[in-house]
Amino acid sequence: MTAAAEKTNLLGMPKSKLEAFFESLGEKRFRATQILQWIHQRGIDDFDQMSNVSKALREKLKVVAEIRGPEVVYDETSKDGTRKWVMRMDNGNSVETVLIPDGERGTLCVSSQIGCSLDCTFCSTGKRGFNRNLTAAEIIGQVWVARKAFMPFDNGSDRPITNVVMMGMGEPLLNFDNVVDAMNLMMEDLAYGISKRRVTLSTSGVVPALDRLGEVTDVSIAISLHAPNDELRNQLVPLNKKYPISELLAATRRYLSGLPDKRKATIEYTVIEGVNDQPEHARQLVGLLRGLPCKINLIPFNPFPESDFKRPSMNATRRFQTVLNEAGYVTTIRTTRGDDIDAACGQLVGRVEDRTRRSQRYIQVQQVNP
Ligand code: SAH
Ligand code: SF4
């Protein structure tokens, strides 16, 4: 093993872990406060630039620690202002991160895994198979890179990232501890200081992990529902066979009722032509969600080569929305952003050295049925 490999990467450590790290070095806990600010608020990765840290401690840190973010291999801005980064994580693997500016808001869409082990039929990430979980440093590293791109931001006036959604590649609840550490850094005042209402974890429904989440944090949640009954959801989201809709919505209720404030869940519904886009589906959805504090986000399906599904017409999506609106639900249709640079929902694939045989299977199927 090389010396560099033994160094502790401080980038992914939330305050409590940094404090423990400094104590283990025989240093005072308040060093954690200084280091957090240098790393996350000033974007500094060089100990020598940390002017309020003594020279002796800086020398010590250089030996045992490092601040190492992901390597940016692609950075492109779309015609509509959406910016996409491809970040290399290790040999052959990379993930994608997208910043969507919208007026005063800037929403960063962050990845949690290299690929995804779940295999939702409408999702291109799933089709590429799975390699591994991202570390906390690799998750918060995406926010760090994106924020550094807008330096200088130390006077507080330039805050390009106001919201974070864990809606990039991967299922965040299957990488629980690292995602929680990274989200804690997003919300930490000494780091990014984003309100818990503006940090959203999106899940396809890992029910036991959703219950655990409620015990350790109070971020906002988005539930990837996509279908109003189990029969259809089993086809779109295979995880539904393990945790059916009734259990998922019960866990969602438990999570919301455990929050200290009144908040709604976001229900995500990818609308696919001829599959789940009929007014009858919308009526079923209304019945299903009765009594659940939620808003509904309709996402017109974004096509990709390995899928036969089609994007619905805007009329069909609006017709669906009208049924929900008339039943009193706040419903938005997510506009497609950044599709000229493949940054839209469901188009994020990165480069996944697949450990499952799934990607191979889909590519073969495609070659047989082009
Ligand atoms: N694994 C988590 C988070 C990542 S996916 C989850 O499933 O919630 C985030 C969202 O991307 C999903 O809700 C889904 O609606 C959306 N998505 C995936 N593939 C899509 C596609 N081809 N078109 C439109 N939206 C898609
Ligand atoms: Fe994984 Fe989410 Fe894609 Fe399903 S929709 S395959 S859970 S990333």
Provide the 10 A C-beta neighbour count for residue 189. 11
- Predicted pLDDT at 306: 86
pLDDT band of 370, cuts 50, 70, 90: very low
Mean of pLDDT values over 108-133: 93
pLDDT value at 351 more than 80: no
Average pLDDT over residues 8-35: 97
The 3-state DSSP class for residue 54 equals coil
170 is in an annotated binding site: yes
Confidence of residue 346 (pLDDT cuts 50, 70, 90): low
Ligand nearest to the backbone CA of 117? 2
Residue 297 has pLDDT above 50, yes or no: yes
Over residues 70-96, mean pLDDT: 91
**If you average pLDDT over every residue of the chain, what do you get?**
91
* pLDDT confidence tier of residue 103, bands split at 50, 70 and 90: confident
Count of residues making up the chain: 370
| pLDDT, position 181 | 98
Q: Quote the pLDDT of residue 369.
A: 43
155/257: higher pLDDT = 257
Of 4-13, 113-122, 159-168, least confident by mean pLDDT is 4-13
Which SS3 state, helix, strand or coil, does residue 62 take? helix
> What are the tens digits of pLDDT across the range 176-186?
999 999 999 99
In this structure, how many other beta carbons lie within 10 angstroms of the beta carbon of residue 208?
11
Name the least confident of 7-21, 89-103, 121-135, 352-366. 352-366
Rounded CA-CA distance 111/350 in Å is 10
pLDDT band at 270 (very low <50, low <70, confident <90, very high): very high
84: which strand partners?
76, 98
- Nearest atom within ligand 1 for CA of residue 270: 15
How far is it, in rounded angstroms, from Cα 92 to Cα 191? 30
The reply to whether ligand 1 has any atom less than 6 angstroms from the CB of 21 is no
Whether pLDDT at 366 is above 70: no
What digits encode the pLDDT tens for the residues 301-338? 999 888 999 999 999 999 999 999 999 999 999 887 77
Mean pLDDT across the stretch 185-195? Answer: 96
Residue 109 assigned ligand-binding role: no
Q: Is the shortest distance between the CB of 192 and ligand 1 below 6 Å?
A: no
Ligand 1 binding pocket mutation candidate from 224, 297, 298 (most atoms within 8 A of CB): 224
| Distance of alpha carbon 320 from alpha carbon 56, whole angstroms | 64
User: Contacts from 356-363 at CB under 8 Å and sequence distance 24+?
Assistant: 356/117, 356/129, 356/130, 357/129, 358/119, 358/126, 358/127, 358/128, 358/129, 358/130, 359/127, 359/128, 359/129, 360/129, 362/127, 362/306, 363/306
Residue 115, CA distances (Å) to 125, 145, 172, 310, 356 in order: 6, 20, 11, 23, 10
| Percent with pLDDT over 70 in the chain | 92
Q: Is 167 in the pocket of ligand 1 (CB under 6 A)?
A: yes
In the chain, the N- to C-terminal Cα span, in Å, equals 46
Q: How far apart are CA 262 and CA 256, in angstroms?
A: 8
What are the tens digits of pLDDT across the range 130-173? 999 999 999 999 999 999 988 765 555 456 899 999 999 999 99
Ligand nearest to the backbone CA of 227 = 1
Distance 170 CA to ligand 1 centre (A): 9
The closest residue, in CA terms, to atom 9 on ligand 1 is: 167
**Does the annotation list 224 as a binding residue?**
yes
* Closest among 82, 65, 66, 83 to 74, alpha carbons compared: 83
Q: Report cis status (omega within 30 of 0) of the bond before 152.
A: yes
- If you average pLDDT over residues 48-76, what whole number do you get? 96
Calculate the alpha carbon distances from 69 to 181, 204, 268 in Å: 16, 28, 31
Q: Average pLDDT in the 342-370 region? A: 64
Of 96, 109, 138, 294, the active-site residue reads 96
Condensed to tens digits (0 to 9), the pLDDT of residues 234-248 reads 999 999 999 999 999
pLDDT over 90 percentage in the chain: 80
Please say if 109 is a catalytic residue. Answer: no
Q: Which ligand is nearest to the CA of 275?
A: 1
Judge whether residue 273 has pLDDT over 90. Answer: yes
The answer on pLDDT for 1 being more than 50 is no
- pLDDT on residue 3: 47
Residue 20: per-residue pLDDT: 98
Q: Tell me which residue has its CA closest to atom 21 in ligand 1.
A: 346
pLDDT at 354: 79
Q: Is the CB of 239 under 6 A from ligand 1?
A: no
Note the pLDDT of residue 337: 75
Q: How far does residue 92's CA lie from ligand 2's centre (Å)?
A: 21
Is the pLDDT at 111 greater than 80, yes or no? yes
109, 138, 294, 345: the catalytic one is 345
Which own/partner contact pairs does 241-247 have at CB distance under 8 Å and 24+ positions apart?
Answer: 243/205, 243/206, 243/207, 245/288, 247/207
Catalytic residue check, 19? no
Query: Residue 349's pLDDT band (boundaries 50, 70, 90)?
Result: low
Residue whose CA lies nearest to ligand 2 atom number 4: 120
Separation between Cα atoms, residue 89 and residue 84, nearest integer Å: 16
pTM of the model: 0.93
Whether 202 lines ligand 1, by a CB cut-off of 6 Å, is: yes
